[in-house]
């Protein structure tokens, strides 16, 4: 994005924020869904000032900024600190340069560690590190090394995701052409299980399928999604969920800027789910959390009885050892967490 377009985009974001100013009270802010730290220092400062102008940042319990290690420097870190950001999520992905090169990342493992230490030196005491496992030809010992390197740094939060192949990406093209081979599900499962045991034995609590935190350091903002609570999205392609309706902003930057300028409709998609489908979504999202959901909570949020709606599926899954089912609470078992996507398909 050219500098002029960045300025126009920031103007549009400010106008969109201004339009909702005073309508909502926010307790968390998450700046991401891309790499906001790719902005230069002047632009980043402006973005932070826009947010502070239209959101009561003194009232926030959590204010997260996503960052790519290759786009951060001391000046930007000072800007984040001055801008009231209190949590930084770093997309490290791997401490092995071989796999960083495969992903086309612009940082090295050494640079990722240097940025981490710089954040600590500037006073950030709530840091998440994103890691990916399941690279083509990756050995379990290489993943163990990644986890040990991460543990030595001591972040408050670790997100560990299995590599996904998204259409249109170079990885998919290389896989389809035979240049690389997807790791077997068996090897991916070994890495997943080792992640759970290693982090669990070293002071991290798994509170969601792929997310681990030191006690009390769970990501408050993402928990909003998993608990199916309301949120507001600002900017291109951002989703909001208000009064049972989910809607998405225009995804094209130029079209979004034009719509804001001309005061046209920003929403390109919206849906209000029927009660039963909304109940299904509530259960699916809740099962991502290791705490699951209580029957009472499900009824309070959906207005429906869990057993009447999903009794057959719940009994079948319980008999298969995939969920714990009792009079009070429903949650995935350890076995169920390893095949969570398949379990959740039962409720679609």
pLDDT at 1: 67
The answer to whether residues 65 and 203 belong to one domain is yes
pLDDT for position 178: 83
CB 32 within 8 A of CB 43: no
Q: Are residues 210 and 306 in the same domain?
A: no
Q: Report pTM.
A: 0.94
Averaged pLDDT in 10-residue chunks for the chain of 348 residues: 87 94 91 90 97 93 96 96 97 97 94 98 98 96 98 98 87 84 92 97 97 98 94 96 94 96 94 94 95 95 95 95 92 93 94
Same domain membership, residue 163 and residue 48: yes
Q: Are residues 166 and 38 in the same domain?
A: yes
* Residue pair 296/286 in contact by the 8 Å Cβ criterion: no
225: in domain: no
Residue 38 in any domain: the answer is: yes
7: tokens are 């300025």
Structure token digits, residue 318: 């319980």
Same domain, residue pair 130 and 41: yes
Angle at 187 between CA 182 and CA 193, to 5 degrees: 135
In a domain, 249, yes or no: no
Element (H, E) at 7: helix 3-20
Cα distances (angstroms) measured from residue 6 to each of 9, 43, 54, 234, 254 = 5, 8, 19, 15, 10
Q: How far apart are CA 185 and CA 193, in angstroms?
A: 12
Give the C-alpha separation, 154 to 120, whole Å.
11
Check whether residue 87 and residue 206 sit in a common domain: yes
Phi, psi of 70 (to 5 degrees): -75, -5
Residue 159 belongs to some domain of the structure? yes
pLDDT attached to residue 2: 76
Are 237 and 251 in contact by the 8 Å Cβ rule? The answer is yes
Q: 3-class SS at 108?
A: coil
Q: What is the CATH number of the domain that holds 188?
A: 3.30.750.200
Angle between helices 295-302 and 275-286 in degrees, nearest 10:
140
Residues 63 and 168 in one domain: yes
* Count of domains for the chain: 2
Domain edge (last residue) among 199, 215, 231: 215
Among the listed residues 199, 193, 188, 140, the one whose alpha carbon sits nearest the alpha carbon of residue 164: 188
Last residue of a domain, one of 167, 199, 215: 215
Expressed as residue numbers, the domain containing 334 is: 295-345
Residue 132 inside a domain? The answer is: yes
Domain boundary among 215, 238, 258: 215
Residue 244 lies in a domain: no
C-alpha neighbours within 13 Å on the C-beta side of residue 322? 17
Q: Are residues 194 and 95 in the same domain?
A: yes
- The verdict on residue 74 lying in a domain is yes
- Examine residue 299 and state whether it is found in any structural domain, yes or no: yes
* Res 285: pLDDT: 95
Task: For 71-229, list the strands marked E by DSSP.
Answer: 87-93, 127-133, 157-162, 205-208, 211-213
Nearest-angstrom CA–CA distance, 158 and 143: 14
């Amino acid at each position: 994005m050219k500098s002029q377009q960045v300025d126009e985009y920031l103007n549009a974001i400010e106008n969109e924020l201004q339009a909702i100013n005073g309508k909502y009270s926010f307790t968390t802010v998450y700046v991401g869904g891309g790499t906001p730290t790719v902005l230069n220092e002047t632009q980043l400062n402006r973005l932070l000032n826009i947010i502070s102008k239209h959101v009561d940042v003194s009232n926030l319990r959590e204010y997260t900024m996503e960052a790519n290690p290759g786009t951060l420097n001391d000046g930007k870190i000072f800007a984040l600190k001055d801008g009231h950001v209190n949590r930084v999520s770093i997309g490290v992905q791997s401490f092995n340069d071989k796999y960083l090169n495969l992903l086309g990342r612009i940082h090295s493992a050494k640079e990722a560690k240097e940025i981490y230490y710089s954040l600590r030196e500037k006073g950030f005491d709530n840091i998440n590190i994103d890691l990916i496992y399941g690279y083509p030809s990756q050995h379990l010992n290489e993943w163990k090394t990644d986890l040990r390197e991460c543990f030595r740094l001591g972040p408050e939060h670790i997100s560990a995701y299995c590599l996904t192949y998204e259409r249109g990406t170079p990885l998919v093209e290389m896989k389809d052409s035979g240049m690389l081979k997807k790791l077997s599900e068996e090897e991916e499962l070994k890495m997943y299980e080792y992640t759970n045991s290693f982090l669990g034995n070293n002071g991290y609590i798994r509170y969601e399928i792929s997310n681990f935190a030191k006690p009390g350091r769970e990501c408050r903002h993402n928990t909003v999604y998993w608990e199916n609570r309301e949120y507001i999205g600002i900017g291109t392609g951002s989703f909001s969920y208000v009064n049972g309706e989910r809607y998405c902003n225009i995804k094209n930057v130029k079209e979004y800027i034009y719509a804001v300028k001309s005061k046209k409709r920003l929403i390109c998609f919206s849906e209000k789910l029927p009660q039963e489908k909304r109940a299904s979504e509530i259960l699916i999202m809740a099962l991502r959390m290791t705490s699951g959901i209580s029957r009472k909570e499900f009824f309070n949020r959906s207005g429906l009885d869990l057993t009447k709606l999903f009794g057959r599926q719940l009994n079948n899954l319980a008999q298969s050892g995939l969920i714990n089912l009792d009079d009070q609470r429903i949650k995935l078992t350890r076995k169920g967490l390893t095949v969570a996507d398949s379990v959740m398909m039962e409720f679609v």
